[in-house]
Structure 1
């Protein structure tokens, strides 16, 4: 455990120089308060929290790191995102792939600058397509490898969007 703590501290110190915080593969179950403390005088541009066992992102994350443009939350155990992430006014790329989402978090449609969303490899069965269609900045939404329900799949296939939508082919055998 001490080795993991040292790794987190070293990576925070590196981020103070390059404005890019990489806490991937640190066995984190949450973002330690020490990270916020160590990063208090640093304007982060990117944050990689992938390949941990994080279940949720705290609301204060958006407050402390409000200038990030790239957030990687892939390969964790998340099921939802806090509404406060809508305050990430500069966020352009969000990766929430390989998590445990069963619905696409509505907050992603409230992020003013979000251009790319990777939500592949989750358990997403439903998406609020009305919300999605009204998003002006999205350029790419990857929903591949999700067990989208038949109705949702059909709606997504027939919707005309201003962005590229990637979904896996619908498999009738996946319906129970």
Structure 2
């Protein structure tokens, strides 16, 4: 366990120089307060939290790391994102693939600069919104390997934004 603490501290120190925080595969169940403390004077550009066991991300994340452009949350146990993520106005790339999402969080559509959303390999059936997408930059939404409902597919196709939508072939409903 101690080696993981050392790993997190070393990676925070590296990020103070590079502005790229890589906390992938650190067995994190949450983002430790120490990380926010160690990174308090750094404007992060990217943050990689993939390959952990995160079940949630605290609202504090978007306040402390408001300048990030690229966030990788893949291969965790997330099923929702905090509403506060909407304030990540510089975020262009978000990876939430290989998590436990059942619903595509509404907050992703409020990210003004978002260009690429990777949400492959979740259990997404629905989208948590009827609202239009606020990002004019959205170029790619990857929802492959999700059991999207017919209603969800229809909703996605009706969005007026000209983004590329990657979904697995339509599979007939079981009933």
**TM-score computed with the length of structure 2 as normaliser:** 0.94
What CA distance in whole angstroms lies between the structure 2 residues aligned with 1:66 and 1:29?
21
Partner residue in 2 for 1:35? 35
- Structure 2: where are the runs of 5+ without partners? none
- Structure 1: where are the runs of 5+ without partners? none
Question: Root-mean-square deviation (CA), in Å?
Answer: 1.6
Query: Once the two structures are superposed, what CA deviation does each residue of 1:50-77 show, in whole Å capped at 9, x if it has no partner?
Result: 0000000000100100000000000000
What CA distance in whole angstroms lies between the structure 2 residues aligned with 1:105 and 1:72?
15
Runs of 4+ in structure 1 deviating by more than 6 angstroms, as ranges, are none
Aligned residue runs from structure 1 range 90-101, under 5 A: 90-101=90-101
**TM-score computed with the length of structure 1 as normaliser:** 0.93
Query: Once the two structures are superposed, what CA deviation does each residue of 1:132-169 show, in whole Å capped at 9, x if it has no partner?
Result: 55542211100100001123224435655411111100
Number of paired residues?
175
Do the aligned partners of 2:62 and 2:87 also contact (CA within 8 Å) in 1? Answer: yes
1:175 paired with 2:150, answer: no
Do the aligned partners of 1:43 and 1:65 also contact (CA within 8 Å) in 2? Answer: yes
Do the aligned partners of 1:93 and 1:115 also contact (CA within 8 Å) in 2? Answer: yes
Larger proportion of helix: 1
